[in-house]
């Protein structure tokens, strides 16, 4: 940035544009937009950057990839498979791998970026969940985010199916099985999608269209919407001095944030390229082309599909039944579609479910500390435990082999774990949250334990407590009283509200009570008012209290 004015010709152009679009004003406003400084706000950025990398490498791949299932005899530079019958899709992927300069690297970047893309969205979403950043006014943006995540699973699955190698074919086969399990319409849907019997000639061209056009288009639109809403509503921020529901504290968009974001983009890029250059991913040349007779162990879907694979593996087949000669494979239907369906509904609807339970209609711009919303945090941890166990169960053969555990035993461990695990996780997490709340209250009232032991004239030993910094006090005091829902509430005349008498109303009251009942009240707690506070000689807190000992 220079102080000398720009050349006249440039100024003229600038003025011309500005006269028409008034960009300077909006531009300046946007450049001064403030971003809070916390690393957890950068998780979503990783997803954005890896998406950009996916788009760029994906376009590169389309230049050579042939989405065709026409059988050809391979004749190329990969000698081992010369003379082998394979689909054009597989042959063109071999071509990209071995004959296109940088092609293998591009394929590996595309695939690693896909793994990182979904992983970063997952942790980004966990951050938003545990800090309550999905609450009003950001529910819509949460929902958009959830749809982006779910669509990305599908996008990744379809991309994985394109090269028509062994794992591709196995994945498509499972997809076909799951579709077939849908009662009544399953067969029709499958015939429609595959254009006939499995595998047919149509499935790859169709998945290709979905993978490179339709789904990326929708994703792009949703991502843009996501950012525009974010821009408009601004980030939430963690509690701290000067940060309020009305005021955001942080770094201005330009230059500091832009430099930081630019650097971060390059780092993300470097990690993905580094992985792609040194760590082999999806070696389709080793897998070989898919043929309908192939079956193999030791192959899994990409990680983000792992939870569905796990659900399929551990769900027992005790509930399968026949109606009038038609089999209803519950053991495929429930885990195959149910696991994804449940995740989708739970994710998309969560802000509204929570709002409905707590009747919280306020605007929230300051993030919750997870411990201050114990039930939500515990629910989140419980759900993560179920997800994690299903995910692990998807690799039970590898676990069984690596750790020499009986395969059936792992299945049972996961079956029990998926039921017991979340309950234990819920209880433990909630206890921990309440414990932390209690400690916060301690710290607020009594200052923090300095670790200095003093001997009083009486001979008694005490630990010196020091006053916390104003920042800490502010953070601790950010805990707002949780409105307790009084289940037995009546109006002035002693009459129950009509809502409380309906079934739904009673359910809602119960839920509200359960959701808010466990909480350590900070009401009436004054900082450093506790009788345990022992000042060291050199302490100078902002809210210094008279020293008192006992």
Partner 1 sequence: MKWITARRRHPLAGYVVVILALAFVGVGYAFVAPSADRAQAQTVAADAPDVDLREGRQIFTESCASCHGPQGAGTETGPDLTNVGAASVDFQVSTGRMPSMNPDAQMPRRPTPFTQEEIDNLAAYVATFGEGPAVPTNVPATAPQRSDFESEEEYEAARETYDAAYEEYIAGGDTEAGMKLYLANCAHCHSWSGAGGALTDGRWAPELHEASPRQLYEAMLTGPGAMPLFNDTTLTPDEKQDLIGYVKDLQAEPNAGGVFALDRIGQVAEGFVGWTVGITLIVACAIWITAKQRAHD
- DSSP β-ladder status, 321-323 and 251-252: unpaired
Pick 111 or 508: Cβ nearer ligand HEM:
111
Pick 47 or 390: Cβ nearer ligand HEM:
47
Would you say 433 and 377 are in contact if contact means Cβ atoms under 8 Å apart?
yes
Partner touching 65 among partner 1, ligand HEM, none, CB below 5 to 8 Å by kind: ligand HEM
* 279 Cβ contact list (under 8 Å, min separation 6): 112
Q: Does 46 bind ligand HEM (CB under 6 A)?
A: no
Whether the upstream peptide bond of residue 463 has omega within 30° of 0, thus cis, is: no
CA distances from 356 to 349, 351, 488, 511 (A): 11, 9, 18, 10
Among 33, 285, 441, 532, binds partner 1 (CB under 8 A): 285
- Which residues make beta-bridge pairs with 466? 448
Q: Does 54 bind partner 1 (CB under 8 A)?
A: no
CB of 318 to ligand HEM, least distance (A): 35
Residues 403-432 that bind partner 1 (CB under 8 A): 404, 406-408
Would you say 136 and 355 are in contact if contact means Cβ atoms under 8 Å apart?
yes
DSSP state letter for 254: I
CB of 275 to partner 1, least distance (A): 6
85 three-class SS: strand
Partner touching 530 among ligand HEM, partner 1, none, CB below 5 to 8 Å by kind: none
Helix axes 23-31, 8-21, angle to 10 degrees: 90
396 three-class SS: helix
Pick 108 or 131: Cβ nearer partner 1:
108
CB of 205 to ligand HEM, least distance (A): 12
Q: Which of 144, 127, 515 is nearest to 358 (CA)?
A: 515
Partner touching 268 among partner 1, ligand HEM, none, CB below 5 to 8 Å by kind: partner 1
Partner touching 288 among ligand HEM, partner 1, none, CB below 5 to 8 Å by kind: partner 1
Q: Does 66 bind ligand HEM (CB under 6 A)?
A: no
CB of 269 to partner 1, least distance (A): 6
Q: To 10 degrees, the CA torsion angle through 167, 89, 74, 294?
A: 30
Residues 223-262 that bind partner 1 (CB under 8 A): 251, 255-256, 259-260, 262
Query: 10 Å Cβ neighbour count for 412?
Result: 11
Residues 217-276 that bind ligand HEM (CB under 6 A): 219
* 501 Cβ contact list (under 8 Å, min separation 6): none
Q: Does 212 bind ligand HEM (CB under 6 A)?
A: yes
Partner touching 61 among ligand HEM, partner 1, none, CB below 5 to 8 Å by kind: ligand HEM
Query: 10 Å Cβ neighbour count for 168?
Result: 26
Q: Does 272 bind partner 1 (CB under 8 A)?
A: yes
Pick 108 or 437: Cβ nearer partner 1:
108
- Whole-angstrom Cα distance, residue 418 to residue 430? 19
CA distances from 430 to 59, 377, 437 (A): 47, 7, 11
Q: Does 116 bind partner 1 (CB under 8 A)?
A: yes
Task: For residue 321, report the phi and psi dihedrals to the nearest 5 degrees.
Answer: -145, 170
Residues 161-180 that bind ligand HEM (CB under 6 A): 162-163
* 257 Cβ contact list (under 8 Å, min separation 6): 35, 251
Q: Which stretch, 7-15, 131-139, 152-160, 176-184, contacts ligand HEM (CB under 6 A)? A: 152-160
274 three-class SS: helix
Q: Does 145 bind ligand HEM (CB under 6 A)?
A: no
Pick 142 or 304: Cβ nearer ligand HEM:
304
CB of 72 to ligand HEM, least distance (A): 17
Among 74, 112, 117, 129, binds ligand HEM (CB under 6 A): 117
Pick 404 or 455: Cβ nearer partner 1:
404
Partner touching 259 among ligand HEM, partner 1, none, CB below 5 to 8 Å by kind: partner 1
Q: Does 5 bind partner 1 (CB under 8 A)?
A: no
Q: Number of residues in contact with partner 1, rule: CB under 8 A?
A: 82
Task: For residue 165, report the phi and psi dihedrals to the nearest 5 degrees.
Answer: -95, -170
Residue 207 burial by Cβ neighbours in a 10 Å radius (0-12, 13-18, 19+): buried
Residues 69-98 that bind partner 1 (CB under 8 A): 80-81, 83-85, 97-98
Would you say 87 and 200 are in contact if contact means Cβ atoms under 8 Å apart?
no
Partner touching 407 among ligand HEM, partner 1, none, CB below 5 to 8 Å by kind: partner 1
Would you say 308 and 150 are in contact if contact means Cβ atoms under 8 Å apart?
no
What residues make contact with ligand HEM under the rule CB under 6 A? 51, 54-55, 58-59, 61-62, 65, 93, 96, 107, 110-111, 114, 117, 152, 155-156, 159-160, 162-163, 211-212, 216, 219, 282, 284
């Amino acid at each position: 940035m220079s102080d000398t004015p720009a050349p006249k010709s440039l100024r003229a152009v600038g003025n011309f544009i500005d006269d028409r679009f008034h960009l300077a004003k909006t531009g300046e406003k946007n450049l001064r937009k403030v971003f809070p400084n916390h690393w957890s706000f950068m998780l979503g950025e990783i997803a954005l950057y890896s998406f950009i990398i996916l788009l760029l490498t994906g376009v590169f791949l389309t230049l050579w990839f042939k989405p065709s299932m026409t059988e050809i005899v391979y004749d190329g530079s990969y000698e081992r498979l010369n003379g082998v019958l394979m689909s054009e899709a597989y042959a063109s992927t071999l071509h990209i791998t071995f004959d296109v300069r940088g092609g293998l690297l591009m394929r590996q970047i595309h695939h690693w970026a896909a793994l990182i893309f979904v992983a970063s969205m997952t942790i980004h979403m966990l951050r938003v969940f545990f800090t309550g950043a999905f609450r009003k006014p950001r529910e819509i943006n949460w929902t958009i985010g959830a749809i982006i995540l779910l669509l990305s699973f599908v996008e990744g699955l379809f991309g994985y199916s394109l090269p028509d190698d062994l794992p591709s074919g196995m994945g498509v086969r499972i997809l076909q099985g799951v579709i077939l399990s849908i009662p009544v319409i399953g067969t029709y849907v499958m015939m429609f999608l595959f254009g006939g019997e499995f595998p047919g000639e149509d499935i790859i061209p169709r998945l290709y269209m979905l993978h490179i056009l339709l789904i990326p288009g929708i994703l792009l639109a949703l991502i843009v919407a996501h950012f525009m809403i974010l821009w408009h509503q601004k980030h939430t921020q963690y509690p701290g001095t000067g940060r309020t529901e009305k005021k955001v504290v942080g770094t201005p968009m330009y230059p500091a944030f832009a430099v930081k974001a630019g650097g971060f983009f390059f780092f993300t890029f470097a990690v993905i390229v580094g992985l792609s250059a040194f760590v082999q991913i999806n070696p389709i040349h080793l897998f070989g082309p898919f043929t309908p007779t192939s079956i193999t162990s030791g192959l899994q879907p990409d990680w983000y599909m792992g939870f569905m694979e796990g659900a399929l593996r551990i769900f027992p087949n005790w509930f399968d039944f026949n109606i009038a000669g038609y089999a209803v494979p519950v053991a495929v239907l429930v885990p195959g579609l149910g696991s994804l369906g449940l995740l989708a509904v739970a994710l998309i609807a969560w802000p509204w479910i929570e709002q409905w339970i707590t009747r919280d209609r306020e605007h929230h711009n300051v993030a919750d500390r997870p411990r201050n919303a114990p039930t939500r945090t515990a629910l989140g941890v419980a759900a993560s435990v179920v997800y994690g166990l299903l995910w692990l169960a998807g690799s039970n053969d590898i676990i069984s082999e690596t750790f020499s555990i009986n395969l059936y035993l792992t299945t049972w461990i996961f079956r029990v774990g998926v039921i017991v695990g979340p309950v234990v996780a819920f209880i433990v997490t909630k206890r921990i949250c309440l414990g932390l709340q209690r400690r916060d209250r301690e710290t607020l009232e009594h200052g923090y334990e300095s670790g200095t032991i003093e001997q009083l004239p009486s001979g008694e030993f005490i630990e010196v407590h020091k006053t916390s910094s104003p920042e800490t006090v502010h953070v601790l005091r950010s805990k707002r009283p949780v409105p307790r829902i009084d289940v037995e509430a009546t109006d002035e005349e002693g009459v129950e509200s009509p809502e409380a008498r309906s079934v739904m109303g009673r359910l809602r009251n119960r839920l509200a009570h359960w959701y808010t009942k466990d909480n350590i009240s900070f009401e009436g707690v004054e900082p450093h008012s506790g009788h345990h506070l022992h000042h060291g000689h050199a302490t100078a807190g902002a809210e210094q209290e008279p020293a008192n000992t006992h």
